[in-house]
């Protein structure tokens, strides 16, 4: 009896559970039906509102570019430079290059390739780059010819259905022909025939394999891979295309190798009148095309509001007229060339940009990767400060060898024991190398990368993980834009803000499609940034950069490569950072020009010209920094009873020590006995003589081990057209 009662009780408990499950299943089914209905409705609406295959009925409208004050800089006209070519005249190598690179299954799919989409999705999830994307050639044709570049679900649905229609209506050969005649190749060139003439001065049917591979590589990012703007990047992209052609059996490895070795002869570039801020507007157009596509830029009537200040731009162009002329090269370009870029460090706004003398299209401010020389040393000193060194730390400027390499100073002499401040002011090479070894090579590279240098090579047989990098001997080099942005971190108290040229983009209907929001990241301790900034102020008042001093609180660093092929001055105030580079395109020699001469003079001229834009102020000292005076004679602090005549003020972090150093000088410097150089002058103007062994070890802060930096960021190749 009791058992039966218990069974009834259990059954009564089960019934609500079964009913709940049944209700949940029904509710889920209803929800799925509603979602499917809404989805089908959305798809149906998207199909009904998509354009017909007869073409886009909207008239083309020119876009406009404005400066930071709303002044019109230039108008981008919608006239297309297009010469159609029959598929019969397009070389098979060029056809195969496009198919191998853009859509390897072009002849197998029906407009949309699920396998290609899955491959692209997997690549994005695993962050592994692939040579061809998820969009088919047919989809790219539909998007470029009939749709916008909006990254919306509606546009993607329309693109897919249009692609299916195109495949039913046209043959594969017709689709490929339309695609190659419609696609944008940079430099105002639409279609393969125009591209062949613009870049190589020949008809499309006359292109060789090397030229075909280069042409096919351009659409991935038309302005970045344009051979006339960036031949180095174009050659790298050409290699990728040839690898894809080998992979899919269109050519063999021997043919690919011969094509890589084939000399590329570009067509002579026509001389054009210099437009206002030409290099800057070209840069803005490149960014817009990579993001929205060429048709949006040239036909959709965009209003682009930029960060440029035309008055500051005019001052930059005026300052760059100080460039000397040593020769005119075979392309009619005056040499040496130069670049200047100025950025507001607190918001990343590019206020001025000069990419050369204005008689060519290569924007050196953005694209030229050149050796920075001593302009790279601040990253070494930052790593040292983060490892416990202070501006008053004593380092022996004495002979040293590393694996058979013996660094030397610019003046070919040694200066005895000096403070770290003096070593930076005088740009002593030996001290920089010793500091890099003590603080750690990877730590220096880590901070350089965190501050914005993306060109570092950290892997492979040839890389930057060596002591030569402390003197700016890099595998690739740096660009003026990136090194200016990196120095801006110091001006902005350790906060990095991504540089930008565009504030807002509005479409033809007045809709805001892009609005810039500063991307900020703390990458350096603010106290370390201040200490290094204070040392760099001394470069301009007491050191190699005095030629750049213009009467306001400013900090900066000169840079000169050992072979006199590159000269730099990079400097900043609390409100503006500017980088000036000088060098030949070849590169050729500068006949002894150093960073402290012409580049410093150009920097001073520009900064003086724009000074009234900003209120004069000094760098803000953060909490935790104390000031102390040390003797020029013996390195003792002023409050030490043995110190009689302290003069020089230094800043140190944390608790004030009783002495900087009292260790006798090392005996390994033959030319610096008693702290005197070869000329007999006293070189110990910051502290007592101290041997190399007095270098303090990195403190136990948790960062005293070698820091393995993350891999360099991938270059922004843009999106496929």
pLDDT tens digits, residue range 471-498?
Answer: 999 999 999 999 999 999 999 999 999 9
pLDDT of residue 54 exceeding 60: no
| Per-residue model confidence as pLDDT tens digits over 497-555 | 999 999 999 998 899 999 999 989 999 999 999 999 999 999 999 999 999 999 999 99
Task: Give me the pLDDT at residue 150, please.
Answer: 59
Q: Give phi and psi for 572, each to the nearest 5.
A: -155, 155
Which residues, listed in sequence order, are joined to residue 7 by a DSSP beta bridge?
none
Residues 63, 102, 427, 661: which is the catalytic one?
102
The catalytic residue among 46, 148, 229, 374 is 374
Q: Are strands 72-76 and 81-82 parallel, antiparallel or unpaired?
A: unpaired
Weakest mean pLDDT among 148-152, 382-386, 437-441: 148-152
Q: What is the DSSP letter of 346?
A: T
Q: Under the phi-then-psi rule, with left for phi > 0, alpha for psi from -120 to 50, and beta for the rest, what region is 59?
A: beta
Is 562 an active-site residue? no
% of the chain surpassing 90 pLDDT: 56
What pLDDT is stored for residue 303 in this prediction?
95
Per-residue pLDDT of 128-147, as tens digits, reads: 544 445 688 888 888 777 66
Average per-residue pLDDT in the chain? 81
Whether 205 is catalytic: no
The CATH architecture one would assign to domain 90-261 is Orthogonal Bundle (1.10)
Asked whether the whole model's pTM tops 0.95, one would answer: no
Q: What is the pLDDT of residues 94-115, one digit of tens each?
A: 999 999 999 898 998 877 777 7
Query: What are the boundaries of each domain within the chain?
Result: 90-261, 624-664
d(CA 283, CA 363): 8
85, 189 contact by CB (below 8 A):
no
Where do the DSSP E strands lie in 428-500? 495-497
Counting every residue, how long is the chain? 721
Average pLDDT over residues 625-629: 69
Which range has the worst mean pLDDT, 9-13, 158-162, 452-456?
A: 9-13
Percent of the chain having pLDDT more than 70? 73
- State the distance between the two ends of the chain, measured CA to CA, in whole angstroms: 80
**Cα separation, 669 vs 661, whole angstroms:** 18
- Token pair, residue 127, equals 């962050």
pLDDT tens track for 529-545 = 999 999 999 999 999 99
Asked whether 500 and 348 are in contact (CB, 8 A), the reply is yes
What pLDDT shows up at residue 296? 86
Q: What local confidence, expressed as pLDDT, does residue 691 receive? A: 29
Q: What is the pLDDT of residues 179-198, one digit of tens each?
A: 998 888 988 888 899 899 99
d(CA 537, CA 556): 7
Higher pLDDT, 270 or 515: 515
**Is the model more confident about 625 or about 283?**
283
Mean pLDDT over residues 297-323, rounded? 95
Between 15-19, 243-247, 705-709, the lowest mean confidence (pLDDT) is in: 705-709
Is the pLDDT assigned to residue 14 strictly greater than 80? no
In this predicted structure, what is the pLDDT of residue 146?
A: 66
SS3 for 340?
A: strand
Listed in sequence order, the residues at least 6 apart from 417 whose beta carbon sits closer than 8 Å to its beta carbon are 394, 395, 396, 397, 665, 666, 672, 675, 684, 687, 688, 689, 690, 691
* Residue 42 banded pLDDT, cuts 50, 70, 90: very low
Which of 334 and 13 is assigned the larger pLDDT? Answer: 334
Per-residue confidence band for 273, with pLDDT thresholds at 50, 70 and 90: very low
pLDDT the model gives residue 679:
34
Residue 295: predicted pLDDT: 82
**H, E, C per residue of 186-248:** CCCEECHHHHHHHHHCCCHHHCCHHHHHHHHHHHHCCCCCCCCCCHHHHHHHHHHHHHHHHHC
DSSP string, 42-71: HHHHHHHHSPPTT---SPPB-EEEE-TTS-
Say yes or no to pLDDT of 438 above 70: yes
Any idea of the CA torsion for 365, 370, 371, 372, to the nearest 10 degrees?
0
Q: What is the pLDDT of residue 143?
A: 78
**Burial classification of residue 618, based on how many CB atoms lie within 10 Å of its CB (0-12 exposed, 13-18 middle, 19 or more buried):** exposed
pLDDT in tens, 592-617: 899 999 999 999 999 999 999 999 99
Q: Are 434 and 409 in contact (CB under 8 A)?
A: no
What is the reported pLDDT for 119? 60
Name which residue leads in pLDDT, 525 or 127. Answer: 525
The model's confidence at residue 448, banded by pLDDT at 50, 70 and 90, is: very high
Check residue 715 and give its pLDDT. 35
Query: Per-residue pLDDT averaged across 350-371, rounded?
Result: 93
Q: Which of the pair, 332 or 242, is modelled with greater confidence?
A: 242
pLDDT at 222: 87
Does residue 682 register a pLDDT over 80? no
Q: Span 265-280, mean pLDDT?
A: 76
Helices (H), 556-693: 598-610
């Amino acid at each position: 009896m009791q058992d039966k009662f218990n069974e009834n009780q259990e059954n009564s408990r089960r019934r609500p559970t079964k009913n709940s499950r049944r209700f949940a299943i029904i509710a889920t089914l209803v929800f799925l039906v509603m979602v499917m209905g809404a989805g089908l409705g959305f798809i149906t609406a998207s199909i009904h509102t998509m354009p017909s295959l007869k073409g886009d009925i909207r008239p083309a409208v020119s876009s406009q570019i404005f400066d930071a004050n709303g002044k019109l800089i230039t108008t981008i006209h919608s006239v297309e430079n297009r010469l159609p070519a029959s598929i019969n005249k397009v070389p098979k190598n060029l056809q195969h290059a496009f198919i191998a690179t853009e859509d390897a299954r072009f002849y197998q799919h029906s407009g949309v390739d699920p396998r290609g989409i899955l491959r692209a999705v997997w690549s994005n999830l695993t962050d592994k780059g692939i040579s061809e994307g998820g969009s088919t050639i047919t989809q790219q044709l539909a998007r470029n010819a009939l749709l916008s570049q909006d990254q919306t679900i509606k546009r993607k649905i329309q693109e897919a259905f249009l692609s299916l229609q195109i495949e039913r209506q046209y043959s594969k050969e017709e689709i490929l022909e339309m695609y190659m005649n419609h696609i944008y190749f940079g430099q105002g060139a639409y279609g393969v025939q125009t591209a062949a003439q613009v870049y190589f001065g020949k008809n499309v049917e006359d292109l060789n394999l090397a030229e075909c591979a280069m042409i096919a590589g351009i659409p991935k990012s038309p302005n970045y891979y344009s051979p006339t703007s960036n031949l180095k990047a174009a050659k790298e992209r050409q290699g990728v295309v040839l690898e894809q052609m080998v992979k899919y059996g269109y050519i063999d490895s021997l043919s690919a190798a011969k094509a890589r070795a084939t000399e590329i002869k570009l067509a002579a570039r026509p001389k054009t009148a210099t437009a206002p801020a030409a290099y800057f507007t070209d840069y803005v157009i490149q960014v817009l095309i990579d993001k929205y596509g060429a048709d949006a830029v040239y036909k959709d009537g965009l209003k682009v509001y930029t960060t440029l200040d035309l008055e500051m731009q005019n001052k930059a162009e005026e300052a760059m007229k100080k460039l000397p002329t040593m020769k005119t090269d075979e392309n009619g370009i005056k040499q040496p060339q130069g670049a200047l870029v100025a950025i507001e460090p607190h918001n990343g706004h590019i206020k001025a940009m000069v990419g050369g003398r204005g008689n060519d299209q290569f924007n050196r401010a953005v694209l030229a990767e050149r050796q920075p020389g001593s302009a790279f040393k601040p990253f070494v000193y930052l790593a040292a400060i983060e490892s416990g060194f202070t501006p008053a730390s004593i380092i022996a400027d004495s002979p040293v060898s590393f694996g058979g390499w013996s660094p030397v100073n610019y003046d070919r002499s040694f200066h005895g024991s000096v403070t770290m401040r003096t070593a930076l002011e005088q740009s002593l090479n030996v001290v920089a190398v010793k500091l890099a070894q003590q603080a750690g090579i990877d730590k220096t590279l880590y901070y350089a990368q965190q501050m914005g240098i993306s060109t570092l090579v950290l892997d492979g047989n040839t890389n930057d993980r060596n002591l030569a990098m402390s003197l700016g001997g890099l595998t690739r080099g740096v660009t003026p834009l990136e090194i200016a942005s990196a120095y801006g971190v110091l001006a902005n108290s350790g906060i990095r803000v991504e540089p930008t040229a565009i504030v807002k983009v509005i479409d033809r209907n007045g809709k805001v499609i892009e609005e810039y929001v500063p991307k900020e990241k703390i990458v350096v301790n603010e106290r370390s940034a201040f200490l290094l900034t204070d040392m760099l102020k001394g470069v301009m008042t007491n050191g190699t950069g005095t030629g750049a001093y213009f009467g306001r609180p400013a900090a900066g660093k000169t840079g000169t490569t050992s072979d006199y092929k590159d000269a730099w001055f990079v400097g900043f105030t609390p409100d503006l950072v500017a980088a000036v580079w000088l060098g030949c395109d070849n590169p050729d020699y500068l006949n002894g020009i150093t960073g402290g001469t012409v580049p410093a003079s150009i920097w001073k001229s520009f900064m003086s010209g724009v000074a009234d834009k900003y209120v004069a102020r000094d760098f803000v000292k953060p909490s935790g920094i104390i000031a102390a005076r040390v003797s020029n004679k013996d390195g003792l602090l002023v409050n030490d009873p043995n110190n009689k005549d302290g003069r020089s003020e230094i800043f140190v972090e944390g608790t004030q020590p009783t002495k900087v150093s009292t260790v006798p000088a090392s005996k390994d410097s033959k030319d610096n006995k008693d702290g005197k150089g070869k000329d007999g002058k006293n070189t110990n103007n910051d502290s007592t003589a101290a041997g190399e062994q007095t270098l303090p070890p990195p403190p136990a802060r948790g960062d005293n081990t070698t820091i393995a930096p993350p891999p360099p960021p991938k270059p922004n190749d843009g999106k496929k057209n």
